[in-house]
Structure 1
Amino acid sequence: MGVVSTEPSTSADPHEVLGYLLKHATLKLTALTDAALGPLGIDSKDFGALRVLAHREPTSQLQVAQTLGIDRTTMVALLDVLERKGIVTRRPDPADRRRNVVELTEQGMRTYDAARVAYGKAESAFLAALSPNATSQFRRTLRTLLEN
């Protein structure tokens, strides 16, 4: 096995810079997923919230924000839009009226089910150049980088 350099590239080519590659891979994936989710009236940010809510009992909007790694202000704005679309409902938490409890509506569950399929197809298109083993390794590598 060869030695892998951990030194930053001195090349002028931005394709040699890890940050550039990660940013542009994210932009490409987001463009694909947003295009796939658009006909459902949502985008990839909305899908993240729907995914969290679909796998939990009614939960606080703060817990959703923490799970997604976004700030409260951004979460409130995102939920405002989803609530106007009839995808989520918010109500005061009976145990702590300072908190809002959020949950998917029936329409929200239908939207999530369709979005899961659309997102999966877009993600598969993004990863099409990789073999299944390379895709699994790519995911493991990204998780390792994010966890450390």
Structure 2
Amino acid sequence: MTSLPVVDQPPHRCGALVDHLARRLRLRSESVLAPLGLRPRHLIALTVLRDRGGSSQQQLAKVLEIDSTNVVTLLNELETENLIERRRSPADRRRHLVELTDVGAKLLARAEFALTAVEDEVFSGLSDDQRETLYTLLQQAASTSATEACREIPPC
């Protein structure tokens, strides 16, 4: 019988674990968001618009890492519900600027409140301090990714 060669273990990688937690969060979040008429992709877009104070459609597509055709469909859904507003850029009439409406901001706040219970369940093994640290680290990783995505389409 031949023995297998001993292979050094690679360093810990977060990708699979983050993906697993994201799936758990997504499944539970979908059931909480559905009564509000939202899907996770809506929530992400609304959050980005709130945090950035608005965006061009092209920049939003880059930050969300989705095709520009799909971002138009997403924005159509949000605009139908009066959650966002699109208007022509005064500086460049070919561009649309997208902003969160008051209705969108209020619904986003309700959704985030409803998702608190989901996060409490998924992250129940972490202390409050650990959750805050995790949030800070994830925010830093997301910010870096968004900044890199925006380098191709200034200004962000």
**TM-score interval, smaller chain:** 0.7 to 0.9
Deviations 1:60-107, CA, capped at 9 Å, x for gaps: 122223333333223222111111222112122121111111112232
Partner Cα separation in structure 2 for residue 144 and residue 103 of structure 1: 23
Supply the AA of the counterpart residue of 2:39. D
For residue 95 of structure 2, give the secondary structure of its aligned residue in structure 1. strand
| Aligned match for 2:99, one of 103, 125, 128 | 103
Identity across matched positions, percent: 34
Larger relative contact order, structure 1 or 2 (CA cutoff 8 Å, min sep 6): 2
Partner Cα separation in structure 1 for residue 141 and residue 75 of structure 2: 30
Partner Cα separation in structure 1 for residue 40 and residue 123 of structure 2: 17
Residue equivalent to 1:48: 44
Count of aligned pairs = 137
Which runs of 5 or more structure 2 residues have no equivalent in the other structure? 1-7, 146-156
Give 4+ residue runs of structure 1 displaced > 6 Å after superposition: 143-146
Supply the AA of the counterpart residue of 1:26. A
| Aligned match for 1:91, one of 87, 93, 102 | 87
1:64 aligns to 2:60 (yes or no): yes
| Aligned match for 1:25, one of 21, 26, 45 | 21
Residue equivalent to 2:113: 117
Partner Cα separation in structure 2 for residue 95 and residue 44 of structure 1: 32
TM-score for both structures, normalised by structure 1: 0.73
TM-score for both structures, normalised by structure 2: 0.70
